[in-house]
Structure 1
Amino acid sequence: MASKSLTAGKNQVTFRSFGVDLAGDLYLPEAFDATKVYKAIVGASPFPQVKDQIPATYGPEMAARGFVYLGFDYLGMGDSPALPGEFKQSRYMFRLIENTWDAVSFLGTLPFVGEIYGLGVCQGGSIIASAAVTDHRIKKIAMVSGMMAADAFQWTNRDQVNQQIAAANASKQKMYEGGEPDYVTPIGLNDEQSREDFVAAMAGINPMAGETYDYYGRDGVKGPMAVPNFTNMHIGDQGMQSLFSIGEAYADKIVQPSLTIYSKAAWTAVCSTEFVSKLTNEHEELAFDEFSHVDFYYKPEAVKASTDAVAEFFNK
Structure 2
Amino acid sequence: MNIKKVTFKSFGVDLVGDLYLPQGFDENKKYKAIVGASPFPQVKEQVLATYGPEMADRGFVFLGFDYLGMGDSPALPGEFKQSRYMFRLLENTWDAVSYLGTLPFVEEIYGLGVCQGGSIIASASVTDHRIKKIATVSGMMAADAFQWADKAMANQLIAAANASKQAIYETGEPDYVAPFGLDDEQSREEHIAAVGSPMAGESYDYYGRDGIKGPKTVENYTNMHIGDQAMQSLISIGEAYADKIVQPSLIIYSKTAFTAICSTAFIEKLTNEHKVIALEEFGHVDFYHKPEAVKISADAVAEFFNK
Query: When the two structures are superposed, what TM-score results if normalisation uses the length of structure 1?
Result: 0.97
The 3-state SS of whatever aligns with 2:95 is helix
Look up the match of 1:262. Answer: 253
- Would you say 1:287 and 2:278 are equivalent positions? yes
The 3-state SS of whatever aligns with 2:111 is strand
Q: Name whichever of 194-203 and 251-260 sits farther off.
A: 194-203
Look up the match of 1:239. Answer: 230
Q: What amino acid maps onto 1:23 in structure 2?
A: V
The 3-state SS of whatever aligns with 2:132 is strand
Give the RMSD, CA atoms, in angstroms: 0.5
Q: Distance in 2 between matches of 1:202 and 1:309?
A: 34
How far the C-alpha of 1:201 sits from its partner, in A, is 1.1
Q: Distance in 1 between matches of 2:256 and 2:71?
A: 32
Look up the match of 1:3. Answer: none
Q: What amino acid maps onto 1:136 in structure 2?
A: H
Q: What amino acid maps onto 1:149 in structure 2?
A: A
Candidates 117, 124, 145, aligned match of 2:138? 145
Q: Distance in 1 between matches of 2:27 and 2:133?
A: 23
Q: How many residues align?
A: 307
Look up the match of 1:4. Answer: none
Q: Distance in 2 between matches of 1:22 and 1:29?
A: 22
- Would you say 1:170 and 2:178 are equivalent positions? no
Unaligned runs of 5+ in 1: 1-7
How far the C-alpha of 1:119 sits from its partner, in A, is 0.0
The 3-state SS of whatever aligns with 1:74 is coil
Percent identity of the aligned residues? 79
Look up the match of 1:104. Answer: 97
- Would you say 1:128 and 2:121 are equivalent positions? yes
- Would you say 1:198 and 2:187 are equivalent positions? no
How far the C-alpha of 1:136 sits from its partner, in A, is 0.1
Candidates 212, 216, 225, aligned match of 1:225? 216
Q: Distance in 2 between matches of 1:158 and 1:64?
A: 44
Q: Distance in 2 between matches of 1:18 and 1:147?
A: 25
Q: What amino acid maps onto 2:98 in structure 1?
A: S
Query: When the two structures are superposed, what TM-score results if normalisation uses the length of structure 2?
Result: 0.99
Q: Distance in 1 between matches of 2:194 and 2:163?
A: 24
Q: What amino acid maps onto 1:229 in structure 2?
A: N
Deviation digits for residues 172-194 of structure 1 (CA, Å, limit 9, x no counterpart): 00010000000000011000000
Unaligned runs of 5+ in 2: none
How far the C-alpha of 1:309 sits from its partner, in A, is 0.4
